[in-house]
Chains A and B, each alone.
Chain A
Amino acid sequence: MTFSTQRPVTAGAPDIGASTTPAPPGRLPVIAGEWIDRTRRLAFTFEGKAFSGFDGDTPSSALWAAGVRILGRSFKYHRPRGLLSMANHDINALMQAGPRLNLRADVEPLEAALNLTAVNTHGGVDVDRARLLGWFGGLLPVGFYYKAFHKPKALFPFWERLFRRITGLGRVEFDAPHVRTPKRYDFADLLVVGAGPAGLMAALTAARAGAKVVLVDENARIGGSLGYQRGGNDDTLARLRALESQLAELPNVSVRTSTLAAGWYADHWVPLVDAKRMTKLRTRAVLVAGGAYEQPAVFRNNDLPGVMLASAAQRLIYRYGVKPMDNAVVLTANADGYVAALDLLAQGIGVPAIVDLRPEGDASDLPTRARQLGIQVLEGHCVFEAEGGNRLAAVVVCPTDADGRPQTSAPQRIACDGLLMSVGWAPAAPLLYQAGTRMGFDTTVQQFVPRELPAGMFAAGRVNGVFALEAKLLDGERAGAEAARFLGFAATSRITDRPTETTSPSHPWPIVEHASGKNFIDFDEDLQLRDFYNAAQEGFDNIELMKRYTTVGMGASQGKHSNMNAIRILARIRGRTPGDIGTTTARPFFHPVPMSHLAGRGFSPHRETPLHSRHEALRAVWMQAGIWLRPEYYAAPDKTRIELVREEAAAVRKAVGLIDVGTLGKMELFGPDAGEFLERVYTARFANLKVGMTRYAVMLDEAGVVIDDGVVARLAPEHFYFTTTTTGAATVYRELQRLNAMWGLRIGIVNATGAFAAMNLAGPGSRAVLAGLTALDLADAAFPYLAVRIGEVAGVTCRLMRVGFVGELGYEIHVPADQAARVWDAIMAADAGVRPFGVEAQRLLRLEKGHIIVGQDTDGLTQPDQAGLTWAVKTDKPFFVGKRSVEIVRKGAVRQRLVGFDLTVAPGGPVPKECHLVIRDGNIAGRVTSIAWSDALQRHIGLAFVEPDLAVDATPFFIRADGGLMVQAKVAPTPFYDPAGARQKLA
């Protein structure tokens, strides 16, 4: 066994044996197996007052030992609340410690120097001014938010501010330290959730068979009910010690305490949450032995401090050595309540009465034993109401009739400072639900139990409807063996079927009506019994609707102590069984988890081209292009962005510029069917493309929408090299692979995007610069426009393409990535006039040529005809992707066309921006896709989608610019610059 916990198990802590020092007030003498270390005192404050506890305490246990009974205030009525479960659902004892919010005082380890405050109080937990709200409770029925405060509308902000001030749990500190919580990953054959008797036996059985087992328990120590449901002696503790030592001999079990299995995801992927982090566990099977949540009884004032679940008192005693009360009435409907009474007696706590809801009482010998010990046992009785101000002072007990209704004619008032509730359990089954288990209501145990478990899911113990200790151990063994066999290990068990209970551990109706209400169902949300009747009366009589209308189960305990009673109430209202009503869905994570555990690191990876360091040295200003970083422009002292972009563009127009275009997708295509493949995936002809030439290529989807473009170069009859857009590289490559997986053509396709760098040397001076670096014949006849050549540049073998994207004589040079810097440096050194230019200048230069950018000047509906690409679409081919759609669309009217436009801006007037709308007669008639000031043309130019009748040269139209101002533009032919294309074809 390996053992991990967030809290070191203190060595030398007194375990078994009495201490000689007297116990402090509120503490019991040393308890065998207690979790506290009485040699280590921890000082802390609560609500500004100094307290001390022991290492191993929780804030609740230390405060309760110190006599504090008001640990928090309720959410809605601000009623005083003490402790309820000591089992991680004491929502009214949420505390704040500086920046730490939602500290669960019932389970979080006490630390030295904690400064704790109760949340949701006004003026402190003892005198909370908002408690006055409780007196107006009758005016605040469930749903009152929706009903009362929406009229008049003008007052709503007032109410909203008020509610925000008086509700909420804790105060966010904005200077809270940033805490990093790295994730962990782990693997196992079997995850066992819950280390009580069933879980321990299951883990032992499966591990002995050979499975690698991870055993988790949300508590600080393992053992579950073996540790605290003792019945006045230490027999169960001895059994726990025996199981622990057996577990310790198995190296293939990892035990993790203070760890919560917070959800179930597909194929057994379970987040394990502890105080520090989340571990994502991949396991082959999951065995849920998470036990059951003890359920409260419902009667008037069942929330008074001092009223608690029986298991809460037992935990106080056996884990923390805290005396829960001096005198306790035990309200029960099962054997567990009698066991709890024996536990109290063994610690010298008075038990004036056991009130058993069942007319027939308990079938075991426990009532007889209790009577022998002097306890008054009242069968067929209920607690009608509890009395007291800020703490319990007495309970009023009366008999019930055959329907369980209280007979108040002869009430009996019993003074006490404690009331234990032991009336039933609800299964801790969220993981089973999430995994798709079919659950059914078993009337024998009055509980939902698994009926059909999905492959690899197992359940044992109370969650499986098994409550007697021996039966739980057997059931754990059975489930552990089943899980081992599922995993392929040989394993046997003494039983093969779930043991059956003879009496129900849960009462079917632990609810007592009271004319004055304050009989709470949900302690998170202060929901009373009558709220449910009201909700049903208003039509919310489906469990999901009722949950949302009343908010039952939507508080921080997520219904652990309220859902089952809500189901019972609804079943009774509708005359159905709880099985008919069903449960709500408990989604992962079913227990609150700090946001910091879930948050990932800020991780947004980007790609850098092989020339990144060169751009950095040239003071590039970076921009995002897809996942790439690209130079937007290059900075220079005392110059603005606009000035620099214009200078860069002017250098290309007048001299020579160099831009890194290595982010383009770059594909290699080989094979006898390579030409045929390109014919099918692009709209133009490629079978007839001559070796040594390139051609512009447009790709459509099946709907005929333009999705990508690029340049295809034929390097050999069966070898093509082509580019895609920067952002499209990965998706285009993926789709091309899929298409050929379907077509089975004889081709091979390689994504060479990262293998090649690329740069475009452009401008009237480009040929002269390149001539000094290569032996290639650059004469127009030998290397014409649109040709591709392979040759050495600066001693590196490159692929050179004569392209015209920016509208000047230019060479796109593709070079193996590891040689890119060498070629770049050689070009930059060849001529002091070579000016590097960035993406912004390139966007301007291509706009002057009217070249579109797919994704900017097209959108998810743009057909090639709308974008002026008809020339590139060869519908006389037998097939290409999207051809049929293009043909069908051509039968109808074009809805919009992309046109060039120019405009003259009045001095100081607004300049339209990309995405500004074209407006005609007050209606939208198009939108601007690109716009820029052109130095070369001395005017603003742009591209816009307009309705087809506007798409005629020189047609004026209006663009609505910032501030709603209308700017007149007019349609202009493209290219705006060098319409004949003479400059790029420069001979």
Chain B
Amino acid sequence: MKLLRCPVNGVRPVSEFAYGGEIRSMPADTCSDIEWAHYVFNRSGVPGVKVEWWYHIASGTWFHAERDTVTDRVLRTWLPGDLPPAADGKAA
């Protein structure tokens, strides 16, 4: 079972976490209906390093995780509003 580092609770098994999807910014009010529909319904499946929402269920902590979807390696995790820490040197 995979391990994941919660910025508050440290390294925990992935069964304690829920995935919240890739972090995407909502388009501005001025966007077209097509752009809005793209935002709502389409997700990028392109493999690579993504920043995602993860939730530590037991403590109710949402955080950001930078994950390489090719290797399924989590490079770093941090709380929303905090600056991302330096990436794990062994990653890539």
**A interface residues (Cβ-Cβ under 8 A, vs B):** 265-267, 269, 280, 436, 455, 702-703, 733-734, 737-738, 741-742, 744, 751, 884-885, 888, 891
Chain A residues with Cβ below 8 Å from B71 are 436
Complex CA gap A482/B11 in Å reads: 24
Going nearest first, the 5 A-B pairs with the smallest beta carbon separation are A266-B2, A741-B62, A741-B80, A267-B3, A269-B1
14 contacts between A and B (CB under 8 A): A266-B2, A436-B71, A734-B18, A734-B57, A737-B60, A738-B20, A738-B53, A738-B62, A741-B81, A742-B80, A744-B81, A884-B29, A884-B36, A888-B33
Chain A residue numbers with a CB within 8 Å of B90 are: 455
CB-nearest residue of chain B to A267: B3
What's the Cα separation between A703 and B42 when bound, in Å? 11
Q: Collect the chain B residues with CB atoms within 8 Å of residue A885's CB.
A: 36, 40
Asked whether A266 lies within 8 Å of B33 as measured between CB atoms, the reply is no
Task: Name which of B53, B62, B81 has the most chain A CB atoms within 10 A of its CB.
Answer: B62
Q: Helix, strand, loop or mixed for chain A's interface? A: mixed
A267–B81 touching, CB < 8 Å: no
Q: Shortest beta-carbon distance, B7 to chain A, in Å?
A: 12
Residue pair A266, B62 in contact (C-beta under 8 Å): no
- Is the CB of B37 closer than 8 A to any CB of chain A? yes
| Contact of A703 with B33 in the complex, beta carbons under 8 Å | no
Bound together, the chains give a CA A751 to CA B71 distance in angstroms of: 36
Knowing A265-B1, A266-B2, A267-B2 touch, does A737 contact B62 (C-beta < 8 A)? yes
Q: Report the Cα distance A266→B17, complex, angstroms.
A: 15
Q: Which residue of A lies closest to B29 (CB)?
A: A884
Assuming the A-B contacts A734-B55, A884-B36, A888-B33, are A267 and B62 also in contact, with contact meaning beta carbons closer than 8 angstroms in the complex? Answer: no
A734 to B81, CA, bound (A): 18
A741 and B61 CA atoms in complex are apart in Å by 9
The reply to whether B18 and A703 form a contact with Cβ atoms under 8 Å apart is: no
Closest to B14 in A: A266
Contact B62 A702 (CB under 8 A): no
Residues of chain B with a CB closer than 8 A to A751's CB: 60
Cα separation A733 to B18 with both chains bound (whole Å): 13
- Given A455-B90, A738-B53, A738-B55, verify A702-B1 contact (CB < 8 Å): no
Residues of A close to B53: CB separation below 8 A? 738
A-B contact sample (5 more), CB < 8 A, given A703-B40, A734-B18: A734-B55, A737-B60, A738-B20, A738-B55, A888-B36
Shortest beta-carbon distance, A185 to chain B, in Å? 11
Contacts of A884 in B (CB 8 A): 29, 36
Could you mark each residue 1-28 of chain B with 1 if its beta carbon is under 8 Å from any beta carbon of chain A, else 0?
Answer: 1110000000000100010100000000
Interface centre among A267, A280, A744, A891 (most CB of B within 10 A): A267
Chain A residues near B18 (CB, 8 Å)? 734
The CA of A476 and the CA of B26, in the complex, are separated in Å by 55
| Set of chain A residues within 8 Å of B41, measured between Cβ atoms | 703
Enumerate chain A residues within 8 angstroms of B40, measured Cβ to Cβ.
702-703, 885
A267, B36: Cβ atoms closer than 8 Å: no
Give the A-binding residues of B (Cβ under 8 A): 1-3, 14, 18, 20, 29, 33, 36-37, 39-41, 53, 55, 57, 60, 62, 71-72, 80-81, 90
Q: Which residues on the B side are within 8 Å of A733 (C-beta)? A: 60
Give the residues in chain A near B29, CB-CB below 8 Å: 884
Q: How far is the CB of B24 from chain A (nearest CB, A)?
A: 10
Q: Is the CB of A267 within 8 A of B80?
A: no
Contact of B72 among A266, A738, A741, A888 (CB under 8 A): A266
Q: Give Cα A744–Cα B82 distance, bound, in whole angstroms.
A: 12
Chain A nearest CB, measured from B22 CB (Å): 13
Q: A455-B90, A742-B80 are in contact. Are A267 and B55 (CB under 8 A)?
A: no
Interchain CB contact (< 8 A) of A888 among B2, B3, B37, B55: B37
How many Å lie between the Cα of A741 and that of B18 in the bound state? Answer: 15
Q: Which residue of B lies closest to A742 (CB)?
A: B80
Write the nearest CB–CB distance from A258 to chain B, whole angstroms: 25
Bound together, the chains give a CA A847 to CA B12 distance in angstroms of 46
CA distance A703 to B39 in the complex (A): 10
CA distance in complex: A631, B3 (Å): 40
- Cα distance A734–B54 when bound, in Å? 11
Shortest Cβ distance from A744 into B: residue: B81
Asked if residues B20 and A266 are in contact (CB atoms below 8 Å), the reply is no
In the bound complex, how far is the Cα of B62 from the Cα of A266, in angstroms? 22
* Chain B proximity of A291: nearest CB distance (Å): 27
Distance of A888 Cα from B27 Cα, bound (Å): 15
Q: How far is the CA of A436 from the CA of B71 in the complex (A)?
A: 9
* Nearest chain A residue, comparing its CB with the CB of B62: A741
A734 to B59, CA, bound (A): 11
Q: Chain B's nearest CB lies how many Å from the CB of A468? A: 34
Chain A residues closer than 8 Å to B80, beta-carbon distance: 741-742, 744
CA distance A695 to B74 in the complex (A): 43
Chain A residues near B3 (CB-CB < 8 A): 266-267
- Which residue of the partner chain A has the closest CB to B55? A734
Which residue of chain B has its CB nearest to the CB of A265?
A: B1
The smallest beta-carbon distance between A383 and chain B, in angstroms, is 47
In this complex, the member of B29, B40, B81 whose beta carbon has the largest number of chain A beta carbons within 10 angstroms is B40
CB distance from B33 to the nearest CB of A (A): 5
How distant is the Cα of A888 from the Cα of B57 in the complex, in angstroms? 34
User: What is the CA–CA distance of A734 and B14 in the complex, to the nearest angstrom?
Assistant: 17
Whole-angstrom CA separation of A891 from B36 in the bound complex: 14
Q: Which residue of A lies closest to B2 (CB)?
A: A266
Contacts of A266 in B (CB 8 A): 1-3, 14, 72
Q: How far is B40's CA from A734's CA once the two chains are assembled, in angstroms?
A: 19
- Chain B residues near A280 (CB-CB < 8 A): 1
Smallest Cβ-Cβ distance to A883: which chain B residue: B29
Measured in the bound complex, the distance between the Cα atoms of B19 and A738 in whole Å is: 11
Chain A residue nearest to B21 (CB atoms) is A738
Q: In the bound complex, how far is the Cα of B80 from the Cα of A888, in angstroms?
A: 31
CA distance A3 to B79 in the complex (A): 45
Q: How long is the Cα–Cα vector from A267 to B39 in the complex, in angstroms? A: 34
Alpha-carbon separation in the docked complex, A702 to B24 (Å): 13
Q: Which residues of B contact A891 (CB under 8 A)?
A: 33
CB distance from A105 to the nearest CB of B (A): 34
In the assembled complex, the Cα of A738 lies from the Cα of B80 at a distance in Å of 10
- Report chain A residues within 8 Å CB of B72: 266
A891 to B34, CA, bound (A): 13
Measured between beta carbons, the chain A residues less than 8 angstroms from B37 are 888
Min CB–CB distance A728 → chain B (angstroms): 15
Most chain B beta-carbon neighbours within 10 Å: one of A265, A703, A734, A751 = A734
Smallest Cβ-Cβ distance to B18: which chain A residue: A734
**Complex interface: chain A residues within 8 A of B14 (CB):** 266
A267 in contact with B1 given A884-B36, A888-B37 (CB within 8 Å): yes
Distance between A749 CB and nearest chain B CB, rounded to angstroms: 9
CA distance A455 to B53 in the complex (A): 26
Residues of the A chain whose Cβ atoms lie less than 8 Å from the Cβ of B39: 702
| Closest-CB distance, A1 to chain B (whole angstroms) | 28
Give every chain A residue within 8 A of B20 (Cβ-Cβ). 738
Residues on A with C-beta less than 8 A from B33 are 888, 891
Residue of A nearest to B72 (CB): A266
The answer for the CA separation of A885 and B53 in the assembled complex, in Å, is: 23
**Nearest A-chain residue to B63, judged by Cβ:** A741
Give the residues in chain B near A455, CB-CB below 8 Å.
Answer: 90
Q: Which residues of B contact A269 (CB under 8 A)?
A: 1-2
Complexed CA–CA distance, A884 and B27 (Å): 11
- With both chains docked as a complex, state the minimum distance between the C-beta of B62 and any C-beta of chain A, in angstroms: 4
Contacts of A737 in B (CB 8 A): 55, 60, 62
B57 to chain A, nearest CB (A): 8
Rounded to whole Å, the gap between the CB of A499 and the closest CB of chain B is 28
**Please, which residue of chain B has its CB at the minimum distance from the CB of A735?**
B20
A269 to chain B, nearest CB (A): 5
User: In the complex, which residue of chain B has the Cβ closest to the Cβ of A703?
Assistant: B40
Nearest CB in chain B: distance from A543 CB, A: 24
Chain A contacts of B55 at CB under 8 A?
734, 737-738
Min CB gap A807→B, angstroms: 36
**Least CB distance, A283 to chain B, in whole angstroms:** 12
Question: Bound state CA distance, A976 and B63, in angstroms?
Answer: 48
Residues from chain A with a CB closer than 8 A to the CB of B57 are 734
Looking at the assembled complex, report how far the CB atom of B91 sits from the nearest CB atom of chain A, in whole angstroms: 10
How far, in whole Å, are A436 and B37 apart by their CA atoms in the complex? 38
